[in-house]
Structure 1
Amino acid sequence: MGHYAAVWDRKAATEITKDCDGFYKVLLKNPRGASAKVSLQGGQVTSWRNEQGEELLFTSSKAIFKPPKAVRGGIHICFPRFGNCGSLDQHGFARSKIWTIDDNPPPLNLNDSHGESFINLLLKPSDEDLKCWPHSFEFRLRVSLAADGSLSLTSRIRNFNGKPFSFSFAYHTYLSVSDISEVRIEGLETIDFLDNLCQKARFTEQEDAITFESEVDRVYLSTPNIVAVLDHERKRTYVIRKEGVPDAVVWNPWEKKSKAMVDFGDEEYKQMVCVDGAAIEKPVTLKPGEEWTGKLELSVVASTFCSEYFDLQNSGF
């Protein structure tokens, strides 16, 4: 991978370097000073900064930078499974593999990309992968940083198998927050969810917003295309738009579980929350030759945002 060490694309404002942790990273920049980093290890977004240079994604101070273990933080690509499942690694193997740069991706129907910085990545199964999940596929991932600083991930998975296969999927997203006790999530009220702390029992969200006073580990089902995460102390709101990923995972480990994780600080649960666009309850099934597309877009607006101003059934993509 030595030829990746000093590549610079002026048109796309994309630079590929070897980071201090030993991983090759793609640095995306926009004209206003926002930036994002994407690691070829796992296709993982490891950083997303606004125009003021503030980090918007959480990464643990105790994260382990040792492949094939996924780094605790950023945005993980969870495929072909989310959660523990048989012989597969937790959350699948995509987040622990080395991705390659896709120099000749098929056309992708996107909105106006003027001022956008992006990178296209590609993952194909290794012989080792085929032993634990015997299905031939191509996974194409585009990570884009728009002129307004919003971050988007577009995944395309094609079945090159001779028979259908099914998979679950998640964009496992660690958001940086000031204090979890001051955070509320809007857009999931009245939605059914599976509670992983109660043997995946099914409940209906009764509150007008999700707030945090203890550990939360839930899969909200068939959710709206827009979810909002309000951080009152920092006076900003993360707006999560998604397409092709109907479910939403909400997770915070709280104090007890934080202390049990070797790659997570004892008190760091206060500075993070995971809100994932996912396809879990109803796995995606692809026939031979078929392709699935799933998209996640993250943006930040002022704290005056309220989810009721959005048409939650239309993501605006």
Structure 2
Amino acid sequence: MDHSAADDDNRATVEVTKYKNGIQQVLLQNPRGASARVSLHGGQVLSWKTDRGEELLFISSKANFKPPAAVRGGIPICFPQFGNRGSLEQHGFARNRMWLIDENPPPLHSSDSNGKAYIDLLLKPSEEDLRIWPHSFEFRLRVALDFDGHLIFTSRVRNINSKPFSFSIAYRTYFSISDISEVRVEGLETLDYLDNLCQRERFTEQGDALTFESEVDRVYLSSSDVIAVFDHQKKRTFLIRKEGLPDVVVWNPWEKKSKATVDLGDEEYKQMLCVDGAAIEKPVTLKPGEEWTGRLDLSVVASI
């Protein structure tokens, strides 16, 4: 299988390997040497590195790499629900299932493959999934690494049911940061948010930028299409661009919750921040045969 794309004298490469836990992973490399590693378990990105080999995603030192649990860190996909409601497991089942490499994906816009290393993955519900969530779907996910090192997710969810269904979705993105006290998030000013620490009560963001002094677990609603995470100590800024994902989840567990979380080190909350592109407040509803598309573009730039 060769998803390579020519670019100058170099090539973007895609390599399928087996990880130490026996699960297949896909290594994407762009012509400049940036890379991303995608596990077929959960369709989860476990690594995203710059062309200088700098790791941009946080993975817990206590992460469990044995299925069925999702790995603590990277970018797990929360689908068909975010949170913990009804009979479904926390954040849905997509992050805990084996995905297939999609050998014959329907075509995306032609610019989506130009000069990129990419892999197409496919998730269909098992009989067990249909018992807990009785809706037939096809979830197609393209993970791409472009020439500039952007990590781009294109998701397409199709209803192949005979009746409508609704879902929510979030890309739980664990950014690697220098120290949580050195970070600020911009692009959330004046937005309403649901506070999960206050029974999802609705508030309005009053600050110019979000900074961190305690646990934060919020869903910001109807945000702009670009959010920025500034890391003063590392002098870098993450940019989160999104389409079809109106909401933004911001989460840091802080000290008490970190100590209570088995697969997270007691002090590791200082080195991580989750900022997720999501569709939560107004679930996506698909009629039979309808398809939803969402896109998330993550990049990093040097900042002062």
TM-score after normalising by structure 2: 0.96
CA contact (8 A) 2:36 2:46 kept: yes
Which amino acid counterpart does residue 207 of structure 2 have in structure 1?
E
Which amino acid counterpart does residue 101 of structure 1 have in structure 2?
I
Distance in 1, matches of 2:110 and 2:221, equals: 27
Question: In the alignment, which residue of structure 2 is the partner of 1:293?
Answer: 293
Q: Secondary structure at the match of 1:241?
A: strand
Distance in 2, matches of 1:19 and 1:52, equals: 23
Distance in 2, matches of 1:136 and 1:250, equals: 30
Q: Secondary structure at the match of 1:284?
A: strand
- Deviation per CA, 1:101-135, whole angstroms, max 9, x where unpaired? 00100111253633200000000000000000000
Which amino acid counterpart does residue 44 of structure 1 have in structure 2?
Q
CA contact (8 A) 1:32 1:147 kept: yes
Question: In the alignment, which residue of structure 1 is the partner of 2:52?
Answer: 52
Question: In the alignment, which residue of structure 1 is the partner of 2:30?
Answer: 30
Distance in 2, matches of 1:106 and 1:9, equals: 15
- Deviation per CA, 1:116-174, whole angstroms, max 9, x where unpaired? 00000000000000000000000000000000001001100000000100001101110
Distance in 1, matches of 2:23 and 2:232, equals: 35
Q: Which runs of 5+ in 1 are unaligned?
A: 1-6, 305-317
Question: In the alignment, which residue of structure 1 is the partner of 2:235?
Answer: 235
Which amino acid counterpart does residue 215 of structure 1 have in structure 2?
E
Change (3 A) 1:112 1:126: closer
What is the CA-CA distance between 1:20 and the residue it aligns to? 1.6
Question: In the alignment, which residue of structure 1 is the partner of 2:181?
Answer: 181
Question: In the alignment, which residue of structure 2 is the partner of 1:63?
Answer: 63
Distance in 1, matches of 2:149 and 2:277, equals: 19
Which amino acid counterpart does residue 90 of structure 1 have in structure 2?
Q
Change (3 A) 1:100 1:205: same
Q: Which runs of 5+ in 2 are unaligned?
A: 6-11
What is the CA-CA distance between 1:261 and the residue it aligns to? 0.3
Matches within 5 A, 1:228-307: 228-304=228-304
What is the CA-CA distance between 1:256 and the residue it aligns to? 0.3
Distance in 1, matches of 2:191 and 2:217, equals: 15
Which amino acid counterpart does residue 154 of structure 2 have in structure 1?
T
Which amino acid counterpart does residue 93 of structure 1 have in structure 2?
F
Distance in 2, matches of 1:124 and 1:85, equals: 22
Question: In the alignment, which residue of structure 2 is the partner of 1:109?
Answer: 109
Change (3 A) 1:218 1:14: same
Question: In the alignment, which residue of structure 1 is the partner of 2:122?
Answer: 122
Q: How many residues align?
A: 298
Question: In the alignment, which residue of structure 2 is the partner of 1:136?
Answer: 136
Distance in 2, matches of 1:294 and 1:76, equals: 15
What is the CA-CA distance between 1:10 and the residue it aligns to? 4.6
What is the CA-CA distance between 1:28 and the residue it aligns to? 0.0
Instruction: Note the aligned Cα RMSD (angstroms).
Output: 1.1
- Deviation per CA, 1:256-312, whole angstroms, max 9, x where unpaired? 0000000000000000000000000000000000000011110001114xxxxxxxx
Distance in 1, matches of 2:118 and 2:42, equals: 17
Q: Secondary structure at the match of 1:72?
A: coil
Identity level (%): 72
What is the CA-CA distance between 1:89 and the residue it aligns to? 1.0
CA contact (8 A) 1:187 1:227 kept: yes
Q: Is 2:155 the counterpart of 1:158?
A: no
Distance in 1, matches of 2:97 and 2:26, equals: 16
Question: In the alignment, which residue of structure 1 is the partner of 2:8?
Answer: none
What is the CA-CA distance between 1:254 and the residue it aligns to? 0.3
CA contact (8 A) 1:8 1:16 kept: no
Q: Is 2:146 the counterpart of 1:146?
A: yes
CA contact (8 A) 1:9 1:15 kept: no
Which shifted more, 50-59 or 15-24?
Answer: 15-24
- Deviation per CA, 1:157-208, whole angstroms, max 9, x where unpaired? 0000001000011011100000000000000000000000111110000000
Which amino acid counterpart does residue 141 of structure 1 have in structure 2?
L
Which amino acid counterpart does residue 156 of structure 2 have in structure 1?
R
Distance in 2, matches of 1:112 and 1:243, equals: 14
Which shifted more, 7-16 or 208-217?
Answer: 7-16
Distance in 1, matches of 2:64 and 2:113, equals: 35
Q: Is 2:86 the counterpart of 1:86?
A: yes
